[in-house]
């Protein structure tokens, strides 16, 4: 039975990865994350079915001991925007140093270990054409998140002989998602659901030889393409006017331009992961959120403002 280590296991992507791994019923799974009330609560339902370790991926001794014992590492630990772009050093400490530590440990103690790493599609230059895996890398230097992801990719490629890098857009989650407010207004974007991202990662375990040393785009497909302002309007209709809109209006220092991605038909067929759409994602959200009158009233005012800007 193969042994799999999942870092950042209590995150939205990590939880779905754990669910799909457990559904396979053929892996010995270890989940690692920082100890907090939130992580303990999220991982508690799984404590009888996998090994749970609370610790830091920057802990040399801990990572060395875990790497020696595992065949595959799914490395999800990291800091996402907007937090990552507010503090470059914070992103480096969590994501970059953690990745360096894992790669160092693999190269020293278990060189046959296989690493699966989710990177970002925001490494690519902004384009009106469909982006493919081989498209040029050209991101804004103020985008610390993409810069750190590029450094992590380079470390993995330099030090490891067994790895897959999946470049992904921001994920549609089943809860209120700050990432969906980080785009420039009125730009075409393509997203990916958290469930589909996790399914692709777990499905790739069957094709490690074919995908070894590959960098691939995992994206949602045509059903996950939408105008960023249209999406924001739809989210306002569901969520109402919430404080994260104010936060992004006054404090977020960087917004992403949109891209759409060329379908990798072979990969899509291999991993069979494009199951969700923006429409299905929004339907799920509608059943989760109920807003008060004041929140809805403010949302309607903001929606009218956005609609006027789209027409102008």
pLDDT at 250: 66
CATH 1.10.3260.10 for domain 2-179+188-222, yes or no, is no
- The pLDDT value given to residue 226: 94
- Taking only the tens place, the pLDDT of each residue in 170-228 is 898 866 556 667 788 889 999 999 999 999 999 999 999 999 999 999 999 999 999 99
**Assign residue 193 a region: left if phi > 0, alpha if psi is -120 to 50, beta otherwise?**
beta
292 by Cβ neighbours in 10 Å (0-12 / 13-18 / 19+) ranks as: exposed
Whether residue 99 contacts residue 116, with contact meaning beta carbons closer than 8 Å, is answered with no
Model-level pTM greater than 0.85?
Answer: yes
Please give the pLDDT value at position 5. 98
Which element (helix H / strand E) includes 72? strand 72-75
Radius of gyration of the chain (CA): 19
Tokens of 110: 């278990």
What is the Cα–Cα distance from 38 to 9, expressed in whole angstroms?
A: 12
Helices (H), 128-254: 144-159, 194-203, 208-211, 228-239, 243-250
Q: Are 264 and 207 in contact (CB under 8 A)?
A: no
Reported as half-sphere exposure (CB side, CA atoms, 13 A), residue 200 has a value of 31
What's the CA gap between 310 and 312, in Å, rounded?
A: 6
**CA separation for the pair 69, 51 (Å, rounded):** 12
pLDDT (0 to 100) of residue 23: 96
Q: Which two tokens stand for residue 262?
A: 């060329």
pLDDT, position 69:
96
Contact 182, 85 (CB under 8 A): no
Q: Are 42 and 175 in contact (CB under 8 A)?
A: no
Which residues of the chain carry a pLDDT beneath 50? none
Strand, helix or coil for residue 258: coil
Sign of the C-alpha dihedral, residues 293, 296, 302, 308? negative
- Position 268 scores a pLDDT of 97
Quote the CA–CA distance of 150 and 212 in Å, as a whole number: 18
**Domain coordinates in residue numbering, the chain:** 2-179+188-222
């Amino acid at each position: 039975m193969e042994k799999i280590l999942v870092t950042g296991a209590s995150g939205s992507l990590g939880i779905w990865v754990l669910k799909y791994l457990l559904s396979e019923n053929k892996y010995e799974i270890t989940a690692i994350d920082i100890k907090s009330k939130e992580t303990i609560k999220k991982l508690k339902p799984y404590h009888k079915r996998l090994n749970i370790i609370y610790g830091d991926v920057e802990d040399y001794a801990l990572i060395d001991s875990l790497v020696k014992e595992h065949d595959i590492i799914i490395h999800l630990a990291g800091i996402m925007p907007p937090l990552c772009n507010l503090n470059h050093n914070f992103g480096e400490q969590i994501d970059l140093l953690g990745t360096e530590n894992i790669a160092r440990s693999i190269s020293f103690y278990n060189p046959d270990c296989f690493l699966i790493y989710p990177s970002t599609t925001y490494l690519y230059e902004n384009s009106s054409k469909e982006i493919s895996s081989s498209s040029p890398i050209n991101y804004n230097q103020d985008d610390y998140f993409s810069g750190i992801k590029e450094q992590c990719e380079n470390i993995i490629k330099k030090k490891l002989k067994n790895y897959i890098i999946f470049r992904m857009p921001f994920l549609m989650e089943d809860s209120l998602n700050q990432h969906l407010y980080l785009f420039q207004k009125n730009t075409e974007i393509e997203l990916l659901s958290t469930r589909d991202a996790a399914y692709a990662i777990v499905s790739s375990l069957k094709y490690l030889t074919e995908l070894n040393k590959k960098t691939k785009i995992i994206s949602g497909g045509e059903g996950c393409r939408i105008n960023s302002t249209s999406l924001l309007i739809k989210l306002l209709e569901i969520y109402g006017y919430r404080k994260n809109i104010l936060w992004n209006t006054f404090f977020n220092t960087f917004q992403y331009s949109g891209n759409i991605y060329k379908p990798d038909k072979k990969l899509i067929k291999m991993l069979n992961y494009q199951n969700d759409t923006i429409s299905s994602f929004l339907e799920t959200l509608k059943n989760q959120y109920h807003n008060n009158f004041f929140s809805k009233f403010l949302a309607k005012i903001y929606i009218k403002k956005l609609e006027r800007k789209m027409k102008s």
